[in-house]
Structure 1
Amino acid sequence: MNKLSIVAISLLSALATAQASAANDTTGFYVGGALNKVTLDGDDVTDSRSGTGLGAYGGYNFNEWFGLEANLFATGDLGDKDIDVSAGALSFTPKFTAQINDIFSAYAKVGIASMAIVLDGNGIDEDLTGFGWTYGVGVNAAVTEHLNIRVSYDVTTGKLDADDNYLGLKDIDTDIKQFAVGVHYQF
């Protein structure tokens, strides 16, 4: 995570100084993708695991301080040599943005999420699903009038139940934390 943090901060700084005259388009639709460092914390079967994930996000900014955003992400294998573990979530949030200057803005969001974890291996083939809450913060930097880079930290938390429940897995408290670097196009 330290390497990803250093790369993200360096990239934001370099692009901000190179494009100091770019004015950020702050209203309308936007769509983008992200590379995530994901940590999965949960009781019992889903003990703390981390790995890389990919995400897609998009939304609509009604004005320069308020918008709605959807975020979909999934991870690769977070498991060990005996069991494969993957996670994903789809969230919907209102997003509140504070413009720092023409290039930088900071935002916070909170909303609802649908979560899923898939366990496979050692005789286990289980899908855990449920609903929960998501919240996050981030910094956005305008590279050009329409192209933006952002660094964000999101937490999705909820209780998951097994779909087939032959293992007796019920009400598993789960947290999925993401540190992400994303790029999006503001229409």
Structure 2
Amino acid sequence: MNKVFKVLPLALLISGAVHAATDNPWYVGARVGGTTYDNLDGVIKGQNADKDDWGGGVFLGYNFNSWFALEGGYTYLGQADIGSDGFEVQGIDLLGKFTYEVSDSFDIYGKLGGFVAYADNGEENDDNTNLAGTAGVGIEYFFNNDLSARAEYQYYNQVGKTESPGESDVHFYGLSLVYHWGAPAPVPVVEPEPEAMPEPVPEIVKVEAVGAVLPFAFDSDKLTQRDIERLQPVAQQLVKYPDTQLYVVGHTDSRGSIEYNQKLSEDRAAVVAGYVGNHFGIDESRIVAQGRGELEPVATNDTEEGRAQNRRVEVFVPGFEMEK
């Protein structure tokens, strides 16, 4: 028969294979080995046949996942020589490949599918094309991500037709070399960046104001023991919070001249400020002392009871907010 038929499919498949997309898990391979024919029904016709020959082919495959691939290609199965003629088979494989990974570099697999066979017994107009079942098993060793080798056996069932040109089972056994396009590279494990800890929201603490009113006797700037006791919470606030300030304001009733009362109110404020500063270690820069004389009464100056309320020193530490 015309030997160009054998060479042309091989050239076409190889030509197409080199354009396989490198970004996909495609692979291409070539195989060569021996073939054996048996059950030559309708072919031998009483003649002895040489049932062994060589075979080979090329194939293209696509890995859908780690265990299943779809594979197709051209296979030449040689011929069984009968006298001066022979029964020759070639065709196209289309089958599924089922893989079990034994280790990182070694797989075993099985194949199952169909074979579009072209059978020829050498007689003119006695060719036949039919669909035959095919199955195989093999082992595959990976030299690296791109290159592997196979040793395999594949069985072709009843290729041809009994009436013409005859049919036969064919056994192929051989070696393959496979090149993998876009073999999945190991995906680098990217450690997630630790989430930034949110900045703590400061807790705002409100510190209440503290104060006291110290009554004074007529025309006096002397502190009593009761006045000292009233000053204790105010002084403790100053000690506890070093950034606070003490305000001291002296007052008088309306008896006496305005100038005299102004001076007396300032003396009363100075006595209180001096006591707090000396006894509690409060720096004078933290104390504001002043006198208002008779200008800010809190009660009438027409009665003794009202005048007693007006003779006073007011002390206080303002409230404030702070981060805890």
Instruction: Provide the TM-score with structure 1 as the length reference.
Output: 0.73
Match for 1:178: what amino acid? F
Structure 1 residue 31 corresponds to structure 2 residue 28: yes
Q: What is the aligned length?
A: 152
Q: CA contact under 8 A between 1:137 and 1:152: conserved in structure 2? A: yes
SS of structure 2 residue aligned to 1:79: strand
Partner of 2:37: 40
SS of structure 1 residue aligned to 2:88: strand
Superposition RMSD in Å: 2.2
Equivalent residue for 2:177, pick from 174, 178, 183: 183
Q: CA contact under 8 A between 2:77 and 2:172: conserved in structure 1? A: no
Structure 1 residue 140 corresponds to structure 2 residue 135: no
Partner of 1:115: 117
Q: CA contact under 8 A between 2:31 and 2:174: conserved in structure 1? A: yes
What stretches of structure 2 of length at least 5 have no aligned partner?
1-23, 182-324
Match for 1:141: what amino acid? Y
Structure 1 29/156 Cα, relative in aligned 2: closer, same or farther at 3 Å?
same
Q: Deviations over 1:101-133 (max 9, x none)?
A: 01110111111111122122xxx3321321111
Structure 1 70/102 Cα, relative in aligned 2: closer, same or farther at 3 Å?
same
**Larger CA Rg, structure 1 vs 2:** 2
Structure (1 or 2) with the greater helix fraction = 2
Q: What is the percentage of aligned positions where both structures have the same residue?
A: 25
Structure 1 residue 71 corresponds to structure 2 residue 73: yes
Greater relative contact order structure (CA < 8 Å, 6+ sep): 1
- Structure 1 segments (4+ residues) deviating >2 Å: 75-78, 158-162
Equivalent residue for 2:164, pick from 169, 176, 183: 169
Instruction: Provide the TM-score with structure 2 as the length reference.
Output: 0.43
Structure 1 76/96 Cα, relative in aligned 2: closer, same or farther at 3 Å?
closer
What stretches of structure 1 of length at least 5 have no aligned partner?
1-26, 163-167
SS of structure 2 residue aligned to 1:51: strand
Match for 2:164: what amino acid? L
| d(CA) in 2 for partners of 1:134, 1:159 | 10
Q: CA contact under 8 A between 1:36 and 1:55: conserved in structure 2? A: no
Structure (1 or 2) with the greater strand fraction = 1
How far has the Cα of 1:48 moved from its partner?
6.7
Structure 1 residue 152 corresponds to structure 2 residue 179: no
SS of structure 2 residue aligned to 1:169: coil
Q: CA contact under 8 A between 2:50 and 2:82: conserved in structure 1? A: no
